[in-house]
Amino acid sequence: MNLYLWDNPRYLQSPISMHINMRWWRNDVIYNYFFGKWDYRMETFSSRPFIKGMPYVLSIVRGTNYYDVYGNGQHIKKYMLAGDATAHRVSGMLGYQQWTIDTVQMDCVRPPTTTATTPSTTSTTTTTPGPTTTPYDLTAPLPILDCNTIKNYGDLRWRTINFSRVMEVGDNITLTGHIWKNATQSTVNFYLGFNPIYKRSVVPVHINQRWWLSYIIYNNWNGKWAPREDVSVRPFSKGMPFVLSMVKTANSHIVYGNGKELINFWNRGSQAENRIGSMIAYEDWTIDSVTMACANPPTSSTPSTSTTTTPKPTTTPIDLSKAPLPILDCNTLDLKKYGDIRYRPLNFSRLMETGDNLTLTGYMWPNASESNVNLYTGFNPVFEVSQVPVHINQRWNQQWSIYNNYVPGYGWSKNEVYSNRPFARGEPFVMSIV
């Protein structure tokens, strides 16, 4: 990202007050300036709090002769301006290369000087109001969150958001906004079912930030608060923007803050007691948008009681003579187009590289005895012949997952390792390998 001097900047032509560069084969952020050429002697660096494949918040605050740079709410750099600080009259920016920029917000120390009678040559970068304690008009109805984004409806605090269906495994709910500078608490409840009533409806997941504490509190409510509170670190800061995400798994909800995993909050109660279909965020933060990224497309425009659109399991033999599967080329193979992928070799377009993430979704059979996946060396593997660097085996008469490797001529390693198993028979699952 470049911060430019002068109006109407041009890429690699206009002077750049500060250049922020993330080269993902490194683990830092690089800073420089451009006055006709790059001054590589003046490159400086900071830690990088961002992660590939995750949301981010990047903020820059202008000082007298420096910029304070924040990443995901953390101060990561004080960048001193090159030369005469008064010459750094920044009037434009350009973000480019491999990231998605959804919003740009400018919080001004002073109000804009332009009026309705004085046309401005610059456009407003955001319609998001700053944090405020002024009550909002809560009468405007919100649309149903139908695997999309609700925004541009003002502050969404204290306003019930119903989903088009209950959350399914793999669904991701993301809130963005701004923590008030004078915040005392910032809270969101995810409710059982639809049309919740505050302080009366069941809350499978309650996320509470008490700003006199240094951590986040998690709980559930079913007529009363559960006696056990779980906690995590808090990556958010008062007066700063935030991104809060919650992903549903088969037996838990994983919460992310500013792109970092905070907690795997295990379900309390049965699956039926964790069918989240609505939410209310409240107290001292501004909620600009709520997004629901669905693992499966919405099935209707009205709330449904269905928990999954995954085809029901079957013990019918799979026809392996179908058309061969396409190469997995950093994309997704749609089960609906190619049927069950079990026992069918799936080649990648290249070998897995550091940071690659392979994710399988599906359904555990109710009568399952074993559920396995092999990751093979090279391409075009032959079952029980090719080398297996990673073997993941779930024997359902045991309570854990087993990991091993297989080398032709030597067989299975004697060094099996284990982990807890979050999956359940008769339930959908999401398994990822990074």
The CATH number of residue 64's host domain is: 2.60.120.200
pLDDT the model gives residue 338: 62
Assess whether 158 and 285 both reside in one domain. yes
Check residues 285 and 127 and name the one with the higher pLDDT: 285
pLDDT the model gives residue 314: 36
pLDDT the model gives residue 189: 97
pLDDT the model gives residue 5: 82
Residues spanned by the domain of 35: 2-94
- What mean pLDDT, rounded, does the chain reach? 82
Nearest CA-CA partner of 182 in 133, 111, 242: 133
Assess whether 160 and 257 both reside in one domain. yes
Nearest CA-CA partner of 190 in 274, 305, 307: 274
Domain-located, residue 245: yes
What confidence tier does 123 reach under pLDDT thresholds 50, 70, 90?
very low
pLDDT the model gives residue 256: 94
- 3-state SS record for 204-232: EEEEEEECCCCEEEEEEECCCECCCCEEE
Give tens-digit pLDDT for 3-53.
988 667 777 678 899 999 999 999 999 999 888 888 888 889 999 989 887
Domain-located, residue 27: yes
* Token pair of 414 as six digits: 């004697």
pLDDT the model gives residue 299: 58
The answer to whether the CB of 143 falls within 8 A of the CB of 265 is no
pLDDT the model gives residue 401: 92
pLDDT the model gives residue 141: 67
The mean-pLDDT minimum among 121-130, 196-205, 266-275 falls in: 121-130
With 80 as the cut, is the pLDDT of residue 109 above it? no
With 60 as the cut, is the pLDDT of residue 114 above it? no
The answer to whether the CB of 426 falls within 8 A of the CB of 365 is yes
Assess whether 84 and 159 both reside in one domain. no
Report, as an integer, the average pLDDT of 346-352.
87
Quote the number of domains for the chain: 3
Give tens-digit pLDDT for 386-397.
899 999 999 999
Assess whether 185 and 90 both reside in one domain. no
Assess whether 173 and 286 both reside in one domain. yes
What confidence tier does 273 reach under pLDDT thresholds 50, 70, 90?
very high
DSSP code for 320: T
Instruction: Choose one of 243, 272, 293: the last residue of a domain.
Output: 293
Q: Among all chains, which residue has been given the structure tokens 């101060």?
A: 75
Report the sign of the C-alpha dihedral through residues 176, 208, 192, 359, in that order.
positive
- What are the residues whose beta carbons fall under 8 Å from the beta carbon of 244, sequence distance 6 or more? 174, 175, 176, 188, 207, 236, 255, 256, 257
Report, as an integer, the average pLDDT of 150-175.
88
Assess whether 342 and 288 both reside in one domain. no
What confidence tier does 361 reach under pLDDT thresholds 50, 70, 90?
confident
What confidence tier does 132 reach under pLDDT thresholds 50, 70, 90?
very low
* Distance in angstroms (rounded) separating the CA atoms of residues 211 and 231: 14
* Distance in angstroms (rounded) separating the CA atoms of residues 69 and 85: 17
Report, as an integer, the average pLDDT of 410-428.
87
Assess whether 84 and 205 both reside in one domain. no
